[in-house]
């Protein structure tokens, strides 16, 4: 399963890519996805892009899938709203999979038009909202400590050079 990933931006500059930590099914998955917002908030992001797969997130969170499935979803958000882009696909078995394994690849289907302020599943809606809520941390380096804490919790954090200093 490709893990949900958030890409915060500050004044058009990419902060990095942050993938969700390993998740338990249910509330833990909802919390983990919402926590993707922490680095965006700590960096003072003015926009975020969040990507997830419909079926994987619905299953992990124990919520009904919303919209086409299977589907890669990308939401581009600012404090003023968001646009949801959906890329539905069908899974096709690879005839020449190495070692006779059951390998699959996506066959992309026609994509619907992007939708302004479309309904988002609860953990994604929370991640988008909290990305623009300033963190109140009493620490000399709120961004740095947030990165360290998230990595300790199992999030995969890859910062761009400008933000890795």
pLDDT of the residue at 38: 97
pLDDT for 54 equals: 95
Q: What per-residue confidence (pLDDT) applies to 138?
A: 83
- State the Cα–Cα distance between residues 19 and 6, nearest whole angstrom: 7
Closest CA to 147 of 69, 74, 42: 42
- Compute CA distances 31 → 8, 24, 37, 60, 151, whole Å: 18, 10, 11, 11, 16
Quote the pLDDT of residue 134: 87
Element (H, E) at 18: strand 16-19
Q: Residue 58's pLDDT is what?
A: 95
Domain extents for the chain? Answer: 5-164
Sequential pLDDT tens for the chain (165 residues): 579 999 999 999 999 999 999 999 999 999 999 999 999 999 999 999 999 999 999 999 999 888 898 999 999 999 999 999 999 999 988 877 666 667 888 899 999 999 999 999 999 999 999 999 988 888 888 899 999 999 999 999 999 998 886
Tens digits of per-residue pLDDT, 134-160? Answer: 888 888 888 999 999 999 999 999 999
């Amino acid at each position: 399963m490709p893990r949900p990933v958030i890409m915060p931006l500050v004044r058009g500059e990419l902060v990095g890519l942050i993938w969700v930590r390993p998740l338990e099914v249910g509330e833990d998955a909802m919390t983990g996805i919402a926590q993707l917002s922490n680095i965006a908030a700590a960096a003072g992001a003015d926009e975020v892009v969040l990507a997830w797969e419909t079926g994987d997130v619905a299953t992990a969170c124990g919520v009904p899938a919303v919209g086409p499935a299977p589907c890669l979803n990308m939401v581009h958000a600012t404090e003023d709203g968001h646009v949801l882009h959906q890329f539905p696909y069908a899974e096709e078995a690879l005839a020449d999979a190495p070692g006779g394994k059951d390998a699959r690849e996506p066959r992309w289907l026609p994509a619907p038009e992007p939708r302004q302020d479309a309904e988002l599943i609860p953990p994604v809606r929370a991640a988008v909202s909290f990305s623009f809520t300033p963190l109140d941390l009493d620490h000399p380096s709120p961004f740095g400590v947030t990165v360290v804490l998230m990595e300790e919790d199992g999030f995969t954090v890859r910062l761009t050079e400008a933000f890795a200093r």
